[in-house]
Amino acid sequence: MNDSVQQMTRHNERPIIVLDGFNVFLRHYFVNQEVNSRSQPVGGVVGFLKHIDHLVTTFSPEKVFVVWENGGPCPRRKRILPSYKANRAKIKEVKNIQAGKAGSIKDALALDDETRIQQLTILAQVLKATPICQVFVPETECDDVIAYMVKTKFAKLKNKKFIVSNDKDFYQLLDDPNVNIYDPATRSLVDGKKVQEKFGVSARNFCIAKTLAGDNSDNIDGVPGVGFTTAAKRFPSLSSEDMDVDIAQVIKEATEANRGTKKPPKVYADVMSSEKLLRRNWELMYLSDSNLSASQIAKVDFILESHEPRMDKLALIKSITEAGINSSFDFDRFSSQLRNFIR
C-alpha cells in the first residue's frame, strides 16, 4: 500500500468513496483484455470490479458511490463553447483498421460503441446487487454531480471524502482538507499540499490558474503562452491558501506589473486583453451547484436519500453468470467484503 494511503486510512478508517465511474471504467476497458465464455470482451467490467475490491480492501469505506455520465459535454457548456470537448467526442480515425490491417485491441475498442455500451450495461446490473449507490442524471457531467455531493450534500459529514479519478478538474475541490483524490493510475492520494508542490498554486486557486492556462483535452484555449508554471511565476497570489484570487485580481496584478517595468513580460499584456476569454473559461471550468438545474439537484438528492445499501449475493452471481464472465476474480470474497464494510 502506498505510504500516503496508509497514513490517511490510519486516521480516517471509514471514509466515503465517490468514483468517477466513466473515468475508472475506461481505464480498464482499454487495458484489460479478458473475454467471457462467448469470446466477448468483458475487461472493463472485471477490471472495474477488481478496482472496487481494491478500494474497499484498502480504505474499509463506510459508503461507496459510483457517479455515471453519458461521456460527453453537458448542453450548458456546449452553448458557451460549441467546440467544448469536441476532441473527446470525436474518436480519431484508425487507418490500419479501416484498411483491414491488424490494429491494437485498444484501437478496435475505441471504435466499438456497442461493446462499450454492452459492458457498461453489464457493470451497472452487477453493481445493483451490491451496497454501492449508483448516481446518474442525464445531460450533466460527472464532475458537477460529484462536486455537488462533496461540497454540499456531504459537507457536514466528518468522514474523509475520497474522489476516485485521474481528472485534474477535481483538484479545485482539494481546498477542503477533508477531501482527497485517489488516482487510480498511481494508486496514491492527492491532497492540497501535493497540488501546491506540483503546480505552484494552491488548490483554492487551482481553477483560476487553469482558467489562465486553458485545457487542451477539453478544447479550451487559455491565454497564449501561459501554463501553470508561468501562471505561478507571474501571479504569486495564486499560491495563497487564505485568499480566493478572482479574474479581477489577476487583471489588476497584470496591469500593475505591466506598468511597473520598462520591458514587462508579454504575458501581462496578454492577460489584460483576455478578460472575456478568462470569464468564459471560468464558467466552463468552475465546479458548483449552479451547473445543475433544480430538477437535477432534486434527482441527485432523491437517489442519495432513498438508497438502501444491501448485498444480494444471488443476484450478483446471476448477473455474472448471465454475462458469461468466467474470471479468476474471487466474487465470493468480493461480496463478503462489500457486506462487511459498506453500510
Q: Using one digit for the tens of pLDDT, what is the confidence trace for 104-163?
A: 545 555 546 889 999 999 999 999 999 999 999 999 999 999 999 999 999 999 999 999
Asked if pLDDT for residue 102 goes beyond 60, the answer is: no
4, pLDDT greater than 50: no
Residue 179 has pLDDT above 80, yes or no: yes
- State the average pLDDT over residues 210-229: 95
The pLDDT confidence band at residue 94, using thresholds 50, 70 and 90, is very low
Which of 91-95, 232-236, 272-276, 321-325 shows the lowest per-residue confidence on average (mean pLDDT)? 91-95
Mean of per-residue pLDDT scores for the chain: 88
- Between 74 and 235, name the one with better pLDDT: 235
Torsion of CA 73, 66, 51, 3, to 10 degrees: 90
Distance CA 30, CA 266 (A): 42
Give percent of the chain with pLDDT exceeding 90: 77
Q: Are the beta carbons of 142 and 67 closer than 8 angstroms?
A: yes
| Domain chopping of the chain, boundaries | 3-195+293-333, 203-285
Q: Within a 13 Å sphere around the CA of 131, how many CA atoms are in the beta-carbon half?
A: 21
Of the candidates 110, 62, 47, the one whose C-alpha atom is nearest the C-alpha of residue 328 is 47
Segment 20-40 shows an average pLDDT of 93
**CATH number of the domain at 203-285, please?**
1.10.150.20
The fold of the 3-195+293-333 domain, in CATH, is Rossmann fold (3.40.50)
The whole-number pLDDT of residue 123 equals 97
| pTM, rounded to two decimals | 0.88
Predicted local confidence at residue 245, as pLDDT: 96
What is the helix (H) or strand (E) element at residue 68, kind and residue range? strand 63-68
Q: State pLDDT tens for residues 260-311.
A: 778 889 999 999 999 999 999 999 999 988 889 999 999 999 999 999 999 9
| pLDDT above 70: residue 95 | no
Does the pLDDT of residue 10 top 50, yes or no? no
pLDDT at 263 (0 to 100): 86
* pLDDT at position 112: 64
Phi, psi of 6 (to 5 degrees): -60, -45
Mean pLDDT for 75-90 is 80
pLDDT at 83: 92
- The residue written with cell numbers 444480494 in the block is 312
| Closest by Cα among 186, 179, 187, 224 to 206 | 179
pLDDT-based confidence at 5, cuts 50/70/90? Answer: very low
pLDDT for res 259: 87
Task: Tally the C-alpha atoms within 13 A of residue 210's C-alpha that lie toward its C-beta.
Answer: 25
Average pLDDT over residues 160-185: 96
Distance CA 44, CA 24 (A): 9
> 7-12 — which CB contacts under 8 Å span 24+ positions?
8/160, 8/180, 8/189, 9/58, 9/59, 9/60, 12/159, 12/160
